[in-house]
């Protein structure tokens, strides 16, 4: 059996999820949020009716319950039903009363206590949070021996073990040895350009599949948990194609700057800015003005865009040449893009294939028929672009 991680795109990269009895290491550079990956996997598996535990040696159990609630998840109900429990390795060391089914008074007890916890969650999951603290307390040879025993016992019980590991300034030998004890390694890293500009994950190894090793940007939201992050999606197209309405349709929040005084209809004179949350993705949306006199803004708004929606008025083929011009000006030829064939409800609107022929578009560029004002076809356009960006 395979269990899903509940992490967007990670299951796709792992060939469907994590096989029962397997071990997976989330290996993070310092400063990257990593605990949420373990919490999100545990929450998803518990919600499927399975059992699980969290071993914690840094964060007190009550604080973890609170962190779950900030993500929008209810760990307390699973604790009350005894579907989940803590292995408390932190309370005794700070002079607090222990919380959970098992607790550790001395680090020498850790091997046996975790083995007992694995016995209690057959076909379930155990989260080891944070492995680096265990390494700090034990000799290198001891920690590798213990990990081997945990993983072997978990395999016998069909229990998935998830290790959360912050890669501090350890010797490369111990880091490599830890990685070699597990079935799968997911690297969590920061993306830097003078300063840290984001966080990403990548599956670097998995014994049961050939993983997709693409780097994926992520955010950790409260509520929400781990989400795939797309830094900029561009929405552009000729005047009156429906760009502002499209941004509003796909965005959870959006802001437009309109001028009404000198035009028959409101028209965007600066930009549309939106924030998208959809199917595990979050993205920032930037819409451009359509008039030629604002083309100087296209270069600015197009910088660092990773995908684009090009809106056209299906009933106004005379504007298609302008749409092609805007694609060139924004350098959208080099990024995944969707032609959003809007206003399909208007008499005389051209169907997608006629639009493709008229615009002389390559068949690799999807043309999606829409009526943005009625939210028809909008979700299909969005899903198509996201699949182009992060599809298999």
Pair 266, 133 in one domain: no
Identify the burial level of 293 via C-beta atoms within 10 angstroms of its C-beta, where 0-12 means exposed, 13-18 middle and 19 or more buried. exposed
Q: What is the DSSP string of 114-172?
A: HHHHHHT-TTSEEEEETHHHHHHHS-HHHHHHHHHHHHHHHHHTT-EEEEEEE--S--H
Residue 64's H or E segment, with its range, is helix 61-71
Residues ≥6 apart with Cβ < 8 Å to 228: 8, 9, 216, 217, 218, 280, 281, 282, 390
Pair 210, 245 in one domain: no
Number of domains in the chain: 2
Domain boundary among 200, 223, 246: 223
Instruction: List C-alpha distances in Å: 198 to 40, 91, 219, 230, 239.
Output: 20, 33, 8, 10, 34
Higher pLDDT, 239 or 123: 123
Token digits for 229? 């992050």
Residues 342, 312 contacting (CB under 8 angstroms): yes
Pair 369, 261 in one domain: yes
Pair 49, 188 in one domain: yes
Nearest residue to 134 via CA among 101, 152, 161: 161
Pair 258, 170 in one domain: no
Nearest residue to 230 via CA among 203, 255, 251, 256: 251
Domain boundary among 168, 188, 223: 223
Mean pLDDT, residues 114-126: 97
Q: Of 75-84, 135-144, 236-245, 247-256, which has the strongest mean pLDDT?
A: 75-84
Pair 111, 32 in one domain: yes
Pair 190, 235 in one domain: no
Q: What is the DSSP string of 207-243?
A: TTS------EEEEEETTTEEEEEEEEEEEE-STTSSH
Query: If DSSP codes are grouped into helix, strand and coil, which group holds residue 108?
Result: helix
Q: How far is the C-alpha of 124 from the C-alpha of 164, rounded, in Å? A: 17
Query: If DSSP codes are grouped into helix, strand and coil, which group holds residue 91?
Result: helix
Task: For residue 293, name the pLDDT band (cuts at 50, 70, 90).
Answer: low
Q: At 42, phi and psi to the nearest 5? A: -60, -45
Mean pLDDT, residues 15-42: 95
Per-residue pLDDT at 358: 95
Check pLDDT > 80 for residue 391: no
Task: For residue 192, name the pLDDT band (cuts at 50, 70, 90).
Answer: low
Residues forming beta bridges with residue 19, ordered by sequence position: 2
Pair 47, 109 in one domain: yes
Q: Please state, rounded to an integer, the average pLDDT across all residues of the chain.
A: 89
Q: Indicate the range of 87-91, 331-335, 373-377 predicted with least confidence.
A: 331-335
Task: For residue 271, name the pLDDT band (cuts at 50, 70, 90).
Answer: confident
Pair 210, 244 in one domain: no
Q: At 178, phi and psi to the nearest 5? A: -65, -45
Pair 12, 99 in one domain: yes
Token digits for 285? 């949306």
278: containing domain: 230-390
Higher pLDDT, 326 or 14: 14
Question: Taking the mean position of all CA atoms in its chain, how far away is CA 14?
Answer: 14
Residues ≥6 apart with Cβ < 8 Å to 41: 5, 6, 7, 125, 127, 162
In angstroms, the first-to-last Cα distance of the chain is 22
What CATH number corresponds to the domain at position 191? 3.40.50.300
Pair 282, 361 in one domain: yes
Domain boundary among 179, 205, 223: 223
Pair 177, 254 in one domain: no
Residues ≥6 apart with Cβ < 8 Å to 15: 206, 208, 209, 210, 211
């Amino acid at each position: 059996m395979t269990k899903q991680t509940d992490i967007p795109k990670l299951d796709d990269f792992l060939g469907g999820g994590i096989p029962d009895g397997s071990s997976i290491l989330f290996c993070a550079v310092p400063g990257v949020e990593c605990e949420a990956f373990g919490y999100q996997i545990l929450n998803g598996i518990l919600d499927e009716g399975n059992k699980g535990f969290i071993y914690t040696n840094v964060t007190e159990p009550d604080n973890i319950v609170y962190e779950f609630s900030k993500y929008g998840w209810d760990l307390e109900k699973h604790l009350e039903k005894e579907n989940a429990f803590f292995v408390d390795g932190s309370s005794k060391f700070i002079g607090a009363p222990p919380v959970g089914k098992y607790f550790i008074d001395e680090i020498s007890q850790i091997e046996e206590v975790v083995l007992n916890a694995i016995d209690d969650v057959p076909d379930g999951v155990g989260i080891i949070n944070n492995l680096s603290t265990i390494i700090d307390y034990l000799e290198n040879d001891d920690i590798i021996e213990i990990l081997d025993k945990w993983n072997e016992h978990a395999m016998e019980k069909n229990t998935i073990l998830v290790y959360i590991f912050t890669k501090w300034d350890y010797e490369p030998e111990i880091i490599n040895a830890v990685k070699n004890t597990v079935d799968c390694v997911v690297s969590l890293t920061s993306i830097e350009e003078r300063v840290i500009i984001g966080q990403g994950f990548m599956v670097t190894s998995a014994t049961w599949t050939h993983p997709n090793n693409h780097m994926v940007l992520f955010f950790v939201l409260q509520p929400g948990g781990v989400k795939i992050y797309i830094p900029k999606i561009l929405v552009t197209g000729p005047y009156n194609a429906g760009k502002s309405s499209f941004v509003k349709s796909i965005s959870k929040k959006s802001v437009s700057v309109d001028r009404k005084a000198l035009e028959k209809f409101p028209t965007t004179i600066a930009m549309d800015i939106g924030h998208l949350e959809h199917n595990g993705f979050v993205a920032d949306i930037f819409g451009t003005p359509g008039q030629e006199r604002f083309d100087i803004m296209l270069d600015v708004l197009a910088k660092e865009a990773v995908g684009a929606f090009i809106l056209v008025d299906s009933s106004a083929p005379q504007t298609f040449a302008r749409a092609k011009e805007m694609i060139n000006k924004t350098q959208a030829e080099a990024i995944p893009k969707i032609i959003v064939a809007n206003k399909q409800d208007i008499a005389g609107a051209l169907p997608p294939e006629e639009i493709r022929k008229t615009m002389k578009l390559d068949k690799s560029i999807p043309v999606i028929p829409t009526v943005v004002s009625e939210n028809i076809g909008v979700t299909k356009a969005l899903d198509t672009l996201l699949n182009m960006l992060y599809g298999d």
